[in-house]
Amino acid sequence: MKIVMIVGSIRKESYNQQVADFMTKRFKDKMTIEQLDIKSLPFFNQDEEEDPPETVKIFKNKIKEADGVLVVTPEYNHSVPGMLKNAIDWVSRGDRVMTGKPVMIVGATPGFLGTVRCQIHLRQIMAAPGVGGRVLPGNEVLIGGVNKKLDGEGGMTDTATVDFLDTVTDNFVKFVEA
Ligand code: FNR
C-alpha cells in the first residue's frame, strides 16, 4: 500500500514532523509512506493551474499514484496552515488528483485542543468539489500537549496516543483496501 504523507509545518523542530517521522517508521510494515515536500511549492496561481511549475507537477503526480494520503498538521489561528492550504489549492485544479483518495488526518499541538478547529476546516476543505478527498470518518487524531509526548529521539512516550495511532492506522488500512 503506497501512502503519501503531507506535513503542514515546515519548521525544523516541528512536533508534527516528529509525529510524521514516528508514524513513517512505526507503520512501515503496514504501508510504504513517502513524505512529500510542500516547502518547495510556489504560491498557487490560477494563471498556471493547467500547466503548473515542475515541483507542482511532481507533487501532484505523487498523489495521483498513491493509494491514500496522510496529513499531519498543526493548527494556525484556528484553521489550516497556509502552506498546507496552498498545496491543497494546487491539487484541486487542473487534473484533480485528490478526487476519491482516502485521507487520514492527524494533528498535534502543544495546546490542549489538539488541532480540533483546524481539522474541522480541513474536513470541510477535503469535501470541496475540486479536492474530493475521502476522509476516514470519525477517527479524529487530536494530539494535545504534544511537547510532553515526544522523547526528542524519534519516539513517543505517551502510550495512549501510540495505541490510538495504531488503531486509527489499522482503520485507515481497511478503509483504503475497501
Ligand atoms: C500557532 N499555534 C496554535 N496552536 C493551537 O493549538 N491553535 C492555534 O490556533 C494556533 N495558532 C498558531 C498560529 C501560528 C501562526 C503559529 C506559528 C502557531 C501554536 C502551534 O500549535 C505551535 O507553534 C506548534 O508547535 C506548531 O506545530 P509544529 O510546527 O510544532 O508542528
- Judge if ipTM > 0.90: yes
Nearest residue (by CA) to ligand 1, atom 5, is 75
23 pLDDT band, cuts 50/70/90, is: very high
What is the reported pLDDT for 74? 98
**What stretches of the chain adopt beta strand conformation (E)?**
2-7, 32-36, 68-73, 102-108, 134-135, 141-143
Atom of ligand 1 nearest to the CA of 19: 31
Instruction: Tell me how far the alpha carbon of residue 175 lies from the centroid of ligand 1, in angstroms.
Output: 30
Nearest residue (by CA) to ligand 1, atom 15, is 76
CATH architecture group of domain 2-177: 3-Layer(aba) Sandwich (3.40)
Q: Which residues contact 131 (CB under 8 A, 6 or more apart)?
A: 88, 91, 92, 96, 98, 99, 125
Cell of 12: 525544523
What is the reported pLDDT for 160? 98
Average pLDDT along the chain: 98
Separation between Cα atoms, residue 132 and residue 100, nearest integer Å: 6
Atom of ligand 1 nearest to the CA of 110: 21
Atom of ligand 1 nearest to the CA of 11: 29
Separation between Cα atoms, residue 130 and residue 132, nearest integer Å: 6
Atom of ligand 1 nearest to the CA of 17: 31
Average pLDDT over residues 172-178: 97
- For the Cβ of 110 lying below 6 angstroms from any atom of ligand 1, the answer is yes
- For the Cβ of 133 lying below 6 angstroms from any atom of ligand 1, the answer is no
Q: What is the pLDDT of residues 90-99, one digit of tens each?
A: 999 999 999 9
Matching residue, cell 503542514: 8
Q: What is the pTM of this model?
A: 0.98
Beta bridge partners of 68: 3
